Copies of this chain bind each other. A is one copy, B any other.
Amino acid sequence: MGDFVFNFEMEVRDYECDLQGVVNNSVYQNYLEHTRHKYIKSIGIDFAELSEKGINLMVKRVEIDFQSPLRSGDRFVSKLRMERISPLRFGFIQHIYRLPDNKLMIKALVIGTSINKRGRPELPRELIEVWGLE
């Protein structure tokens, strides 16, 4: 799995844990979203600019496999790579590994699309190029 293009380290905060003493399931979506936004910024895509051109990125589907739960104080690295799903949909493959033992905790596929000014799905050339989706 050496082909991830983006890594981001975080740490579990106590308020993210629930009655069972582990990170609440919904919080992983926060981690995954934050990772995607950091990644998108890192490759120079500016949401505000895209919006002005009338392009809106949105999530259409999420699949998450919960392998093992993160706990209070755990550090982890969130990894990401892109995958073309269809001409109009792109996928973020996202894994979360606990540190320092690199145990896989979460595997996710997040499928997005982009909508143009007329509300129709449209992947701008710009995104296709930067993501290397042929």
The chain A residues found within 8 Å of chain B, CB to CB, are 13-15, 17-19, 21, 24-27, 29-30, 33-34, 37, 41, 58-66, 72-73
The answer on a CB contact under 8 Å between A14 and B26 is: no
CB distance from A100 to the nearest CB of B (A): 17
User: DSSP class of A's interface residues: helix, strand, loop or mixed?
Assistant: mixed
**B14, B59, B63: the one within 8 Å of A66 (CB):** B59
Report how far A15 CA is from B60 CA in the complex, Å: 17
Report how far A24 CA is from B16 CA in the complex, Å: 10
The answer on a CB contact under 8 Å between B25 and A14 is: no
**B19, B27, B65: the one within 8 Å of A26 (CB):** B27
Closest CB pairs A-B (n = 6): A26-B29, A13-B34, A62-B64, A26-B26, A17-B19, A63-B63
17 A/B residue pairs, CB under 8 Å, sorted by A: A13-B33, A13-B37, A15-B18, A15-B24, A15-B26, A15-B34, A17-B19, A18-B18, A24-B33, A25-B33, A26-B26, A26-B29, A26-B30, A60-B66, A61-B66, A62-B64, A63-B63
Instruction: Return chain B residues, CB-CB under 8 Å to A29.
Output: 25-26, 29
